Amino acid sequence: MNSDRFERLLQSDWQLDFQGVFIKAWELFKSQALLFVTFTLLIFSTAMLFVVYLQPYTILFSALLAPPLYAGFYLVANRISRGESVIYPDFFAGFNYWLITVGISLVSQVLTALGLFLFVIPGIYLLVAYMLAVPMGIFGGLDLWTAMEASRRLVTRFWWKFFALLLLLILYNGLG
């Protein structure tokens, strides 16, 4: 994503539509539910393997494997939304973006933790502000800091709505 295109996006009059977000997400999920569920189970099982049997290395899973695995969800959802067919190995395409996903994950977690530790409110702000950093890095082709800054600038415009969306996602995921 070039800077002119991003600036136009920032200046445009787009709105965050909760209902539209959930409807679109549900439609994407339904179209390949079996693939999404099995990949989720693979990630969960791998995480549990580390927690139970490889506990000293759990941080390695969280830092080095989880980010590109989670990026697989973005990549598959993007393919589905473009009308392309998907197969199970497509979920592993996040490893093609290993450096950017791991880098964004580590830097944003450190900054968020620092913000939470020092003052709480800045940490919460950064947690929400960096929500779109990985998609910006993957789909926008942005480097680590540019993706994080682009996410922060875009999310800040509607920060309370993104915060509410994050709370809804946490609630929704908690309910199963």
pLDDT tens-digit series, residues 22-36: 999 999 999 999 999
**Does position 166 have pLDDT exceeding 80, yes or no?**
yes
Q: What does the pLDDT look like over 39-76, one tens digit per residue?
A: 999 999 999 999 999 999 999 999 999 999 999 999 99
Q: Measured between alpha carbons, how far is 102 from 59 in angstroms, rounded to an integer?
A: 12
Q: Which residues of 41-75 are buried (b: 16+ CB within 10 A; e: fewer)?
A: eebeeebeebeeeeeeebeebbeebbbbbebbbbb
**142 φ/ψ angles, rounded to the nearest 5 degrees:** -90, 150
DSSP assigned state of 89: G
The answer to whether the predicted template modeling score (pTM) of the entire model surpasses 0.85 is yes
Query: What average pLDDT does the chain have?
Result: 93
Q: Does residue 159 contact residue 129 with C-beta atoms inside 8 Å?
A: yes
Residue 5's pLDDT is 77
- At residue 34, the 3 state secondary structure works out as helix
Q: What percent of the chain has pLDDT over 70?
A: 98
For residue 1, pLDDT beyond 70: no
Rounded to 5 degrees, φ, ψ at 18 are -55, -50
pLDDT digits (tens, 9 = 90+) for 128-154: 999 999 999 999 999 999 999 999 999
pLDDT value for 16: 82
Give the Cβ contact number of residue 32 at 10 Å: 21
Please list, in sequence order, all residues whose beta carbon lies within 8 angstroms of the beta carbon of residue 31, skipping any fewer than 6 positions away: 80
44: left (phi over 0), alpha (psi -120 to 50) or beta: alpha
Residue 1's CB is within 10 A of a number of other CB atoms, namely 14
Q: How much is the pLDDT for 11?
A: 82
Whether the Cβ atoms of residue 142 and residue 150 lie closer than 8 Å to each other: yes
